[in-house]
Amino acid sequence: MAKGGLDGVVVADTVMSMVDGEQGELVIRGLPVEELAAAGRLEDAVALLWDGDRSTAGRWVEELGRARVRMWPTLEGSPALRVADAAVALRAGLAPLEGATPIELVAAAGLLVAGWSRARAGKPPLAPRADLPHAADLVRLLRGEPDDARAQALGAYLCTVVDHGMNASTFAARVVASTGSDATSAVVAAVGALKGPLHGGAPGPVLDMLDAIGSPERAEPWIRSELAAGRRIMGMGHRIYRVRDPRVAVLERAIEGLGRAGVATERLALARAVERAAERILAEAHPERPLKANVEFATAVLLDAVGADRAAFTGLFAAGRVVGWLAHVAEQRETGRLIRPESRYVGPTAA
């Protein structure tokens, strides 16, 4: 029987990112993720992944700003802004953008999430500004006013999730690119893969879980009853990491920065208590398999403090990861072949 899951199968050589699951290390095109996230600017990640070093980041701030302004008239009235879920809004809003350039797709992803969030709150969408870095403008579009501390935190988040080895959505993007199809189609396929709860759909449910638990002493009975009911604990476990996801510490630092700027981040203490309880209980249930916190606990706390609606969390994940998807699309086109694995037929034989 094929196990499925392709664990341990190398499907591409890439220069984009290196994930060390045993040491808990993430390197983005030669740079530790901590360093990439420090400046809190998505454009640093665009420069690094698309050009190979960060020296072109200033030019990308201008290009991305202009792309937001250029894409806005197309997206402002999009019916995608009124669907129930931000990831669905992204899928629907990006799909018609045939022929969009990579930077226009990055711009459009951010605009769709921000516009969708405003519509959900019953507010009219705001027009983008060309002169701000992407994260700063997204915070302004989400909240109605600029906010430096939140812009820094959101920028750090977007950089932290920008690329992560051969994750399911990146693989989906590469499969589509390998057929010679266009970048928009690759990104739309990737959004579809990211949306699932085992990949990018977890941070909203993590926040629901923290709300349901409410206080640290209730964590243990709550987790035990979830496991007894056969449910997984969102935000715990990872296909690659056997130690704590290194992105958690980067996001915790960004959350602490928000706290110093006076933004309420009290959920961080609860999240840490729930993580400790979940780790202990999961170690009893699976002594053979270390199940540690993945990026979603800290993501939920950070994005909530930034002021994003929890239903927009997966959309914001996509707004960062889209930069990585597009880097892989270009790399696949340059160096890859048609991706076409095989299956083993186990159905009935012909009579």
Q: For ligand COA, give the closer residue by CB, 151 or 234.
A: 234
The tokens describing 315, both together, are: 């959309």
24 binds ligand COA (CB under 6 A): no
235 binds ligand COA (CB under 6 A): yes
232 binds ligand COA (CB under 6 A): yes
H-state helical runs in 121-167: 134-143, 148-160
CB 310 within 8 A of CB 208: yes
- Sheet of 17-20, strands arranged across: 17-20, 25-28, 31-32
296 binds ligand COA (CB under 6 A): yes
CB of 104 to ligand COA, least distance (A): 28
321 binds ligand COA (CB under 6 A): no
Does an H or E element contain 224, and which?
helix 219-228
> Is the C-alpha dihedral spanning 309, 78, 314, 252 positive or negative?
negative
Q: Left (φ > 0), alpha (ψ -120 to 50) or beta: where does 8 sit? A: left
Annotated catalytic residue within 104, 296, 328, 331: 296
The tokens describing 282, both together, are: 């999961």
CB of 127 to ligand COA, least distance (A): 34
CB of 164 to ligand COA, least distance (A): 9
145 labelled catalytic: no
204 binds ligand COA (CB under 6 A): no
Q: How many CB atoms lie within 10 A of CB 243?
A: 14
What does the alpha-carbon distance between residue 37 and residue 258 come to, in Å, rounded to a whole number? Answer: 14
198 binds ligand COA (CB under 6 A): yes
With CB under 6 A as the rule, give the number of residues binding ligand COA. 18
Contact region for ligand COA (CB under 6 A) — 110-118, 129-137, 185-193, 291-299?
Answer: 291-299
Annotated catalytic residue within 238, 252, 275, 331: 238
266 labelled catalytic: no
Residue positions annotated with a catalytic role: 238, 296
Tell me which residues touch ligand COA (CB under 6 A).
5, 198, 202, 232-239, 282, 286, 289, 291, 294-296
